[in-house]
């Protein structure tokens, strides 16, 4: 299993400029919301895959290795932690903006 991140292995939703409407100014439009939604979907799919592999290992399925399961669990955990950090930063930015004096 190749664990190195190459430009082609990065999800298209996380690449710069992904999801930006043609003709829209940079950073404006539905680019970030759609990219964030796609990233959440990918994290959810990784968690579902890890749960499925975990269940298969518990049932002693010979076609599923423990190593593959552990890597899938770690990928799902890292994705969830990254999503949690992004959410916390967004909430902090919102709070900072709301507390600004006009």
> Taking the CB of residue 60, how many other CB atoms lie within 10 A of it?
7
The secondary structure element, H or E, covering residue 90 is helix 66-98
The percent of residues above 90 in pLDDT, for the chain, comes to 57
pLDDT in tens, 66-97: 999 999 999 999 999 999 999 999 999 999 99
Rounded to two decimals, the pTM is: 0.63
pLDDT in tens, 28-79: 557 888 888 999 999 999 999 999 999 999 999 899 999 999 999 999 999 9
Would you give the end-to-end CA distance of the chain in angstroms? 54
Angle (nearest 5°) at CA 46 between 44 and 51: 95
Can you give the residue ranges of every domain in the chain? 32-98
To the nearest whole number, what is the mean pLDDT of the chain?
80
């Amino acid at each position: 299993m190749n664990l190195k991140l190459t430009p082609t292995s990065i999800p298209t939703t996380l690449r710069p400029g992904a999801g930006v409407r043609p003709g829209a100014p940079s950073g404006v439009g539905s680019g970030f919301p759609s990219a964030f939604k796609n990233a959440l979907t990918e994290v959810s799919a990784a968690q579902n895959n890890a749960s499925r592999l975990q269940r298969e290992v518990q049932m002693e399925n010979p076609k599923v290795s423990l190593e593959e399961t552990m890597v899938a669990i770690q990928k799902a955990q890292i994705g969830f932690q990254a999503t949690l950090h992004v959410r916390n930063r967004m909430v902090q930015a919102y709070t900072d903006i709301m507390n600004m004096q006009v």
